[in-house]
A and B are shown apart, each in its own frame.
Chain A
Amino acid sequence: MASGSVSITIKLFSALREALGESEFELAISDISEASEQVDVAAIKALLSQRGAVWKVALNQPNLVHALNHKVVFTDAMVSEGDELAFFPPMTGG
């Protein structure tokens, strides 16, 4: 994987968006993709958790939902350049 420009889009919703003060941003994954051949959702969570205690707590809630390219996935789902990864609490529509 080429370094320097590999990035994904992160989206946050609901209480998670409020707690972290961001709704959408680009995340460079070049660093972790160089360290290991594959990058999964768990690796992205670990990277974001380094932003501080608030991020670590928010992203490690047991009921946190992860959606990769608009589909709910487990933390072992693989992430690639250009993907959209969203984090949010359980859904309460209807």
Chain B
Amino acid sequence: MSVSLQSEMIDVAAEYTELVGDRPGAAVATFTGYVRDHSDQQAVAELELEHYPEMALKVLEDLGQLAAERFELSNWRIVHRFGPLAVWETIVWVGAVADHRGEAISACELMMDTLKTDAPFWKREQGPAGEHWVASRDSDMARRARWQSGEAQ
């Protein structure tokens, strides 16, 4: 039940082993996000991820707690990178352990949908047309809103 903000690559195998530990639940779900080689606007060569460390830690810890209470998780973990990231590197990893698959999968979805709009990170893309800050997406806001309206459970 913890958060890591880190500049180094995410060791997904080690994170999984640590998440499950010596008290495996019946259901384990994880999500891994990678840096894409393209965006809506251009090919992407590199990504720079700025963050607000103190707030990011607080927001993600609160989010993990929220998911744990809502889906009765026995364990959860959120890992988010910052700094320069190359294409196809890992950028985010979340994991949830629960009694049933529905809860574990939904917990990962809640954590991802919420962190994209609520955790203070900002992507800056570099490509052939130069550098620019990535704009927030309405589709991300819509996915976030589903959890508040009760549409997603």
A residues whose Cβ falls under 8 Å from a Cβ of B: 11, 13-15, 63, 67, 70-72, 86, 88-94
Contacts and interface: CB of A to CB of B under 8 A. Distances in A.
Interface of B: 33, 49-52, 54-56, 58-59, 80, 91-92, 112, 115-124, 133-137, 140
Contact of B123 (A67, A71, A92): A92
Contact of A11 (B33, B49, B52, B116): B52
Given A14-B122, A14-B133, A15-B133, A91 B117 contact: yes
A76 B3 CA distance: 31
A91 B63 CA distance: 15
Contact of A91 (B54, B91, B120, B124): B120
A11 to B, nearest CB: 7
A92 B33 contact: no
B39 to A, nearest CB: 11
